[in-house]
Amino acid sequence: MSEADRIAELRALVAYHDERYYGLDDPEISDADYDALVRELHELEARHPELPATDSPTQRPGHAATTAFAPVVHALPMTSLANAMDRSELEAWGDRLVRALGDAPVRFVCELKIDGLAVSIRYERGRYMQAATRGDGQVGEDVTANVATVSAVPAELHRVAGDHPAVLEVRGEIFMPLASFERLNAAAEATGDKRFVNPRNAAAGSLRQKDPAVTARRDLALWAYQLGEVQGGPAFNSHLETLDYLRSLGLPVNPEIRALDSLDDVLAFCAHWQEHRHSVGYEIDGVVVKVDDLAQREQLGFTSRAPRWAIAYKFPPEERTTLLRDIQVS
Ligand code: IVH
């Protein structure tokens, strides 16, 4: 098969699996197998710039919004993240930062990569107004009524130093804690219903319910990790300041977030969480490493798909065979 044919084949395959994962909440292959397809496609596309890529799934993160929920145009795009699959890819990212920023010291903020669904939650004058999924990054789905049922999502933000911002968009991950996931599957088994494959899938299925009363019974949670559009709010110099602000507003911010001053420390953080990934009560699939200084972020900017100032260090896939067999037997 020629490389051009393989590109066409990979584009169709990736689009198919995007739809299974995002559109139908019913993935057919593992995240690792999916990542391998996307990587191969990226590499081949880089070798063949003469082949137009406008309709390639590599040009848009995730899926296009489906018609079941009203579309929401994101005030600021919800981009995806570049991945580092191992130590050397993380080091290569560190080298690119040094080339772009010179000798300036870089502080990194390391966060657990929560395996859930990204949402953008809009508050106006401190009041919950709207929530949307990421969709294709530009247009997501309106899940306002569903996200409103998540107890970790405040209906009203705390007032901090004066008036509430006219607009404040909070970005974060909606997820299903493992205990809730196990309870849900035990209940499904008792009633002879289909089990959910994993907590991410259960969270996605629970969020995209036409009846928010069903979502309300599903015990979803949130970790907030980023600001979207802000109008009339305070100015920040660093990501850590924005996280403190989110916390002071009453939003849940993950307690395991750490600021680290060297890439060696970042690598140690990644290695630690790779080993202890099951010590928290929710699924994580990596570590997100972000440049803390917002002026440095400006300097680094974005590629067409993702910010240059952040990267997702992905944990290697786990041996799931036993787990799957156990599930089928039980
Ligand atoms: S930051 C521009 N932080 O990972 C940066 N994302 O592969 C936006 N995710 O779409 C994302 N935990 O759904 C960020 N602590 C974290 C995260 C996180 C999980 C997800 C998010 C994003 C995807 C990118």
Q: Looking at ligand 1, which residue's alpha carbon is closest to its atom 23?
A: 80
Query: What's the confidence (pLDDT) of residue 319?
Result: 67
Report CA-CA distances (Å) from 235 to 8, 75, 230, 245, 311.
46, 18, 10, 11, 24
Known active-site residue 113: yes
Burial-class residue 99 by CB neighbours within 10 Å (0-12, 13-18, 19+): exposed
For 53, list phi and psi in degrees, rounded to 5: -115, 10
Pocket lined around ligand 1, Cβ cut-off 6 Å: 79-81, 111, 113-114, 118, 134, 173, 225-226, 288, 307, 310, 312
Taking the C-alpha atoms of residue 105 and residue 38, their distance in angstroms, rounded to an integer, is: 33
Task: Give, for ligand 1, the residue of 79, 121, 136, 288 to mutate: max count of ligand atoms closer than 8 Å to Cβ.
Answer: 288
Distance 23 CA to ligand 1 centre (A): 19
Strand, coil or helix: 193: coil
Task: Give, for ligand 1, the residue of 34, 74, 80 to mutate: max count of ligand atoms closer than 8 Å to Cβ.
Answer: 80
Ligand 1 atom closest to residue 312's alpha carbon, by position in its atom list: 7
pTM of the predicted model, to two decimals?
A: 0.82
Q: Are 160 and 249 in contact (CB under 8 A)?
A: yes
pLDDT tens-place string over residues 15-29: 888 878 776 777 788
| Tokens linked to 43 | 């590499």
Q: Looking at ligand 1, which residue's alpha carbon is closest to its atom 22?
A: 80
| Tokens linked to 204 | 């996605």
Q: Looking at ligand 1, which residue's alpha carbon is closest to its atom 7?
A: 81
Ligand 1 atom closest to residue 254's alpha carbon, by position in its atom list: 15
Taking the C-alpha atoms of residue 246 and residue 254, their distance in angstroms, rounded to an integer, is: 11
Distance 208 CA to ligand 1 centre (A): 19
Q: Looking at ligand 1, which residue's alpha carbon is closest to its atom 10?
A: 80
What strand order describes the sheet that includes 83-84?
83-84, 310-314, 284-291, 108-114, 258-260
Query: What's the confidence (pLDDT) of residue 322?
Result: 45
Report CA-CA distances (Å) from 33 to 17, 28, 168.
10, 10, 37
Taking the C-alpha atoms of residue 69 and residue 117, their distance in angstroms, rounded to an integer, is: 16
Q: How would DSSP label each residue in 270-329?
A: HHHHHHTGGGSSS-EEEEEEEE-BHHHHHHH-B-SSSBTTEEEEEPPPP--HHHHHHHHH
Nearest CA to 315 out of 283, 290, 285 is that of 285
Query: What's the confidence (pLDDT) of residue 325?
Result: 41
pLDDT in tens, the chain (330 residues): 898 889 888 888 888 888 787 767 777 888 778 878 888 888 888 888 888 887 788 876 665 545 578 999 999 999 999 999 999 999 999 999 999 999 899 999 999 999 999 999 999 999 999 999 999 999 999 999 999 999 999 999 999 888 899 999 999 999 999 999 999 999 999 999 989 999 999 999 999 998 999 999 999 999 999 999 999 989 999 999 999 999 999 999 999 999 999 999 999 999 999 999 999 999 999 999 999 999 999 999 999 889 999 999 999 988 654 454 444 443
Q: Looking at ligand 1, which residue's alpha carbon is closest to its atom 2?
A: 79
Distance 113 CA to ligand 1 centre (A): 6
